[in-house]
Structure 1
Amino acid sequence: MRESRRFSLISRLLKFSQFIDNCADKLGWLSNWLVLLTIGVGFFNVVARYLGRFIGVQLSSNALLELQWYLFSLTFLLGFVYILRHGENVRVDFLYTNMSEKKRALVDFVGTILFLIPFCLIGIWVTFNPVLQSWGRSSDGSWGTWEISSDANGLPRAPIKTMVPIGLLLLLLQSISQAIKYLAVLLGYHQVAEQIRLETSENINIE
């Protein structure tokens, strides 16, 4: 009975993990298009800048310049989730590569629980009030105008600042998804270990 309940719980957690993974893949697809859009806006800004100088007309604007780095920021804030899901993050793995799959899963599980998840939670907590202030919330609880660029004709700051805690929240959800998969491997779910191997293109040993 206890084994049956544990199997049912892990199965439900893995379904939740799969849902988060699917969302991460969609964010990765979106990030790819954001890269192309960033390049396009950047290319236009360069051409407009030099062509405008040549013909004596202001073709570019601060809004377009800021849009370029807004898109660049979004690429990373959303792309981190996809990177974590597919194990493309940088690792210092002198010992890690020679470990068995269960030992790797243990290292990843402990690291995710002790470091990555707390980092996301602290990041969300630290950025929450500054984001509210950017939207115009005062210390007395009243609301005013939202934060705008200090440059003429620039873009508002509040929307892009809001994406920081949202990006951390998405990273938190993916961290939980990864932790679920690592736990499943530790409990002997070899199909999950194979799934991780295929997703990260790693050669692993399963004990």
Structure 2
Amino acid sequence: MRALLNFSRAIDKITEFVGSLTAGMVILTILVGFYNVIARYVGRLIGIQLSSNALIELQWYLFSMMFFLGFAYILKHGANVRVDFLYTNWTVKQQALVDFIGTILFTIPFCVLGIWVAIDPVLQSWGLLPNGNWGTWEISSDANGLPRAPIKTMIIVAFATLLLQAIAQAIKYLAVYKGYPHAAEIIQADIENLPLE
């Protein structure tokens, strides 16, 4: 169990790193959005186009990436929505068992299905043709727009990081259910965003 918990902690570190990237994306998204608004009004005032479709699309790409990369972070910290009118009154072991079963039966299969369903559209976006040859990337239909392939690839990245974190959570829930020392404290530290030793 110790090796599995060490593995889950390694995944947790990856999730924390990816989560920290989303914080930077929030700032970048705000800056790009702020520039787009100012450029639109100033450009109208002086009669010059100061913004472009690429910058507008960059703004929603960054906004999408915040969500894509935030899924695993939210799961790790227990910030996801719960209907817990019964759950809160259960013992820690009962909660861990329910979380373990839910993760194994729902979250992990959902992630695997999401990756599997997204692979073909993402490859087609990168230019994979039906005959197996490679063509050009999928490009935005808007003039001067950005390529669609990189943002579509983030769908797979989002499901992959969520899958890894779901595995890490399942390990922690199992450790709590089996009564492994300090396992409950690890999960509580995740929820309260406390640093682990």
Pairwise same-fold verdict (TM > 0.5): yes
Aligned residues: 193
| Deviating 4+ runs (over 4 angstroms) | none
Which consecutive residues of structure 1, in runs of 5 or more, have no partner in the other structure?
A: 1-9, 203-207
CA deviation profile, 1:10-57 (whole Å, cap 9, x unmatched): 111111100000111111111111001000100000000011000000
Match of 1:74 among 62, 65, 77: 65
Partner of 2:131: 140
- Report whether the alignment pairs 1:115 with 2:106: yes
Match of 2:18 among 27, 33, 51: 27
- Report whether the alignment pairs 1:160 with 2:151: yes
Mapping of residues 33-112 of structure 1, within 5 Å: 33-112=24-103
How big is the alpha-carbon RMSD for the aligned residues of Structure 1 and Structure 2?
1.0
Which consecutive residues of structure 2, in runs of 5 or more, have no partner in the other structure?
A: none
Q: 2: CA distance between counterparts of 1:31 and 1:137?
A: 30
CA deviation profile, 1:69-109 (whole Å, cap 9, x unmatched): 00001101111111111101111111111111000000100
Percent identity for Structure 1 against Structure 2: 64
Q: 2: CA distance between counterparts of 1:114 and 1:195?
A: 23
TM-score normalised by structure 2 residue count: 0.96
Partner of 2:187: 196
Return the offset for 1:199: 1.8
Q: Flag the structure with larger Rg.
A: 1
TM-score normalised by structure 1 residue count: 0.91
Q: 2: CA distance between counterparts of 1:172 and 1:201?
A: 22
